[in-house]
Amino acid sequence: MAALEHNFKVGDVICAYHTGFHRIVEITERTSKGEPYNALIKYRKFLTPSGKRINTKTIKSCDVAYCTAVNEEWVQRKRAEAVAKWDSIQELIDGK
């Protein structure tokens, strides 16, 4: 199995296996039977899913396959999804 390519670096903001928004604190490149394997991403949560800031020292980790970069493109995509959702609700209210 080929390792997933990634462009993550320490300090990046991600959504990961665990809920909320996290900042990467360490990336460990891994191998399996001498072959490259998916990186292990270690991160610390700093925002809840609703956007509330939290201060924790707990470091969690997951395979890079579960990580999504939170960047300008991600924000724009999520904003468009939210607008489409609310537009659909408004259409229901308006009887369209």
Alpha helices in the chain (DSSP H): 72-94
| Phi (first) and psi of residue 72, to 5 degrees | -60, -40
pLDDT of residue 15: 95
Is residue 94 scored above 80 in pLDDT?
Answer: yes
**Cβ distance 70 to 95 under 8 Å?**
no
pLDDT of residue 34: 87
How far are the Cα atoms of 35, 40, 74, 86 from residue 80, in angstroms, in the given order?
40, 31, 10, 10
Q: What is the pTM of this model?
A: 0.80
Per-residue confidence band for 4, with pLDDT thresholds at 50, 70 and 90: low
Question: Could you tell me which residue, 91 or 2, shows the higher pLDDT?
Answer: 91
Let me know the angle formed at the C-alpha of 89 by 88 and 94, rounded to the nearest 5 degrees. Answer: 95
Can you tell me whether residue 94 is helix, strand or coil?
helix
pLDDT in tens, 10-63: 999 999 999 999 999 999 999 888 888 899 999 999 999 998 999 999 999 999
pLDDT of residue 2: 55
Q: Where are the beta strands (DSSP E) in the chain?
A: 13-15, 21-32, 35-47, 60-63, 68-69
